[in-house]
């Protein structure tokens, strides 16, 4: 995360960059077959304006907050379904890793495989729960690729249960697979002055192509999520850990 203070590492993401994720959201929230949900509208806006000419600024993509550096987990570390959550599911993505120089200039260090782990059942209850569904830990690694090929990157997501493959699906990411260019995603993340504070670190997830949740899979305690992308080194593997206690009441005390 950050060598001095985890709070100086901002973890965020852009969704609805791939048709598969837009379709999953559409199925979660559709009311009438004749109507497009806001999710599909957002994806279509990206198709129409998310890859602008080099001298232009494209349409803004969806943006969400994940947390600070304390939520990041490494290869083989568990991803948690807390007691207050409804579920937890993988989102196999590539993430960009950035550092803000002393001059306020964002610099991309490289990219890594990421699991932008989220609570999809909570989101499905109401699309306004999206922000809260993202406030879960997530993983990154195990390798940081300094100058990757990011045009079209094939990959695979696999769920293992009791040591055997339970679900698996081929995926793809990269600029030719997405409705927003990398430059446009970075433009709309770093246009905010608060995202260009010298010395800060940023981890930004670029969106998922497919989810096991979209195929009706509910992950269970001990399942292992494996994400592999060509050209990004070893696969990222994380077990799922479900809290075995009830949610607790958090009481706020007054300073008065």
List pLDDT tens digits, range 151-204.
Answer: 999 999 999 999 999 999 999 999 999 999 999 999 999 999 999 999 999 999
- The stretch 100-105 carries a mean pLDDT of 98
For residues 172 and 144, the answer to whether their CB atoms sit within 8 Å is no
**DSSP string for 9-31:** EEEEE--S-SHHHHHHHHHHH--
What six digits make up the tokens of 189?
A: 């993340």
Pairing between strand 92-100 and 201-205?
A: antiparallel
Q: Which residues 6+ apart lie within 8 Å of 146 measured at CB?
A: 109, 110
Residue 36: its pLDDT value, please?
A: 77
* Cα–Cα distances in angstroms (integers) from residue 124 to residues 147, 210, 219, 250, in the given order: 36, 16, 16, 25
Evaluate the CA torsion angle 197, 97, 71, 129 in order and state its sign.
Answer: positive
Residue 24: its pLDDT value, please?
A: 56
- DSSP letter at 147 equals S
- pLDDT per residue over 59-82, tens digit each? 999 999 999 999 999 999 999 999
Q: How far is 220 from 238, CA to CA, in rounded Å?
A: 13
The percent of residues in the chain predicted with pLDDT above 90, rounded, is 86
Q: What structural domains and CATH numbers belong to the chain?
A: 6-242 (3.90.850.10)
Q: Which residues 6+ apart lie within 8 Å of 27 measured at CB?
A: 214
pTM over 0.75: yes
Confidence tier at 84 by pLDDT (50, 70, 90) = very high
């Amino acid at each position: 995360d950050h060598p001095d203070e985890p709070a100086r590492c901002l973890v965020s993401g852009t969704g609805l960059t791939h048709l598969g994720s837009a379709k999953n959201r559409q199925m979660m929230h559709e009311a009438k077959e004749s109507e497009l949900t806001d999710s599909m509208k957002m994806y279509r806006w990206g198709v129409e304006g998310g890859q602008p000419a080099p001298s232009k600024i494209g349409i803004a993509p969806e943006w969400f907050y994940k947390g600070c550096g304390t939520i990041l987990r490494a290869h083989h570390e568990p991803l948690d379904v807390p007691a207050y959550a409804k579920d937890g599911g993988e989102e196999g993505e590539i993430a960009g890793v950035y550092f803000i120089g002393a001059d306020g200039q964002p610099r991309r260090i490289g990219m890594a495989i990421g699991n932008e782990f989220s609570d999809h059942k909570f989101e499905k209850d109401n699309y306004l729960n999206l922000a809260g569904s993202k406030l879960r830990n997530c993983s990154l690694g195990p390798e940081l690729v300094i100058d990757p090929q990011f045009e079209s990157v094939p990959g695979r997501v696999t769920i293992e249960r009791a040591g055997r493959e339970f679900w698996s699906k081929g995926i793809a990411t990269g600029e030719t697979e997405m409705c927003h260019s990398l430059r446009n995603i970075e433009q709309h993340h770093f246009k905010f002055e608060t995202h260009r504070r010298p010395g800060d670190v940023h981890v930004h997830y670029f969106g998922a192509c497919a989810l096991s949740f979209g195929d009706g899979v509910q992950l269970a305690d001990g399942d292992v999520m494996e994400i592999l992308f060509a050209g990004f080194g070893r696969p990222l593997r994380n077990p799922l850990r479900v809290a075995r206690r009830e949610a607790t009441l958090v009481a706020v005390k007054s300073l008065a």
